[in-house]
Chain A
Amino acid sequence: DTGVSQNPRHKITKRGQNVTFRCDPISEHNRLYWYRQTLGQGPEFLTYFQNEAQLEKSRLLSDRFSAERPKGSFSTLEIQRTEQGDSAMYLCASSWEDRATNEKLFFGSGTQLSVL
């Protein structure tokens, strides 16, 4: 178990640029989540994948945001035309669907985005 891996750890970009983050979940996990956390707040749910299917998107996810999980393994989160308000920590989490136990999410270390 190597844990959830996120790259890059830090990203500084200028307003208007596009950025892409990658998440590699724990290998046997079929569920993957993206959350966003701003300073002094708890994480907020952005989107959820079951295998390769994106099953829910938060209203927080504007049209500038797109997430994919093409083969049901790693996922990417792209932000187009970044704005200063996009500055946040973007967290990825994964879990294994198991109806016998409570949902247990494993979070990565996040990608800290700073939009100048």
Chain B
Amino acid sequence: TQLLEQSPQFLSIQEGENLTVYCNSSSVFSSLQWYRQEPGEGPVLLVTVVTGGEVKKLKRLTFQFGDARKDSSLHITAAQPGDTGLYLCAGLAGGTSYGKLTFGQGTILTVHP
């Protein structure tokens, strides 16, 4: 069974601070996705990383896929209250040709004004 461990589980910071969320596994994934989920809503895809060592930027968010494709990180620069939400990483196992994702348990981010 492939598992994804996210850390930290909770993060409470002030507006303007930087933060990093980590997603680790002992298994190799063919790709890894990051989602953001608001209370009472479904997850919304932010980014997909595929190549080991890949870095993608989405405005103030920077996503990195580990060289061995077992881990990933999400870095937010100058966090804003609108960034508040549940951040989930999800891996797609190698050889899987459809969207059967393994999700981490999530990081609840609260950004205080």
Q: Chain A residues in contact with chain B, CB under 8 A?
A: 4, 31, 33, 40-45, 48, 50, 55-56, 91, 93, 95, 97, 102-110, 112
Q: List the B residue with the shortest CB-CB distance to A97.
A: B98
> Which residues of the partner chain B approach A91 to less than 8 Å between Cβ atoms?
42-43
Does B45 lie within 8 Å of A43, measured CB to CB? no
Bound Cα distance A97, B98 (Å): 8
Contact A109 B40 (CB under 8 A): yes
Report the minimum CB–CB distance from B44 to chain A (whole Å): 7
Q: Which residues of B contact A (CB under 8 A)?
A: 4, 6, 31, 40-45, 48, 50, 88, 90, 92, 98-106
18 CB-based A-B contacts, threshold 8 Å: A4-B42, A33-B100, A40-B106, A42-B4, A42-B105, A43-B43, A43-B103, A44-B103, A45-B100, A45-B101, A103-B31, A104-B45, A104-B48, A105-B101, A106-B45, A107-B44, A109-B40, A110-B40
Residues of A contacting B102 in the complex (Cβ-Cβ under 8 angstroms): 45
Name B102's closest neighbour in chain A (CB-CB): A45
C-alpha spacing A104/B45, complex, angstroms: 8
A40 to B104, CA, bound (A): 10
Which residue from A41, A42, A108 sits with its C-beta under 8 Å from B90? Answer: A42
Taken together as a complex, chains A and B put the C-alpha atoms of A9 and B109 apart, in Å, by 25
Contacts of A110 in B (CB 8 A): 40-42
- Establish whether residues A109 and B99, one from each chain, have CB atoms under 8 Å apart when the complex forms: no
The 10 closest A-B pairs by CB, nearest first: A42-B103, A107-B42, A103-B99, A102-B48, A105-B99, A42-B88, A109-B41, A43-B103, A107-B43, A42-B106
Q: Could you tell me the distance between the alpha carbons of A44 and B4 in the complex, rounded to whole angstroms?
A: 12
How far in angstroms is the closest Cβ of chain B from A38?
A: 10
Give A97 to B105 CA distance when docked, in angstroms: 27
CB distance from A11 to the nearest CB of B (A): 14
User: Smallest Cβ distance from B82 to chain A, in angstroms?
Assistant: 19
Report how far A102 CA is from B4 CA in the complex, Å: 20
